[in-house]
Amino acid sequence: MESQKVPPVTGAGFDPAYVPGLTSPGAEAAAEDKVTESDEPTREVTPVEPEESEEPEDAKPQPEPAPKAPADGPVLEAKDRRGSITVDATGVRFTLDDQEADFTWDEISAVEYGTSRKRLTVTVHTPNSRWYPNDVEAPDKSRLKEWTDQLDKALDEYFED
User: For residue 67, which amino acid is it?
Assistant: P
Residue 158 in contact with residue 88, Cβ under 8 Å?
A: yes
Which DSSP string do the residues of 59-104 spell out, in sequence order?
GSPPPPPPP---TTS--EEEE-SSEEEEEETTEEEEEETTEEEEEE
List domains and CATH numbers for the chain.
76-158 (2.30.29)
Q: Which helix (H) or strand (E) holds 29?
A: helix 25-34
Indicate the pLDDT class of residue 138, thresholds 50, 70 and 90: very high
Residue 65 has a pLDDT of 47
Please state the pTM of the whole predicted model.
0.56
Q: What's the whole-number mean pLDDT along residues 55-78?
A: 62
pLDDT tens figures, 105-128: 999 999 999 999 999 999 999 999
Residue 25 has a pLDDT of 53
> Does residue 132 register a pLDDT over 70?
yes
CA angle 79-85-91, nearest 5°? 145
Residue 51 has a pLDDT of 58
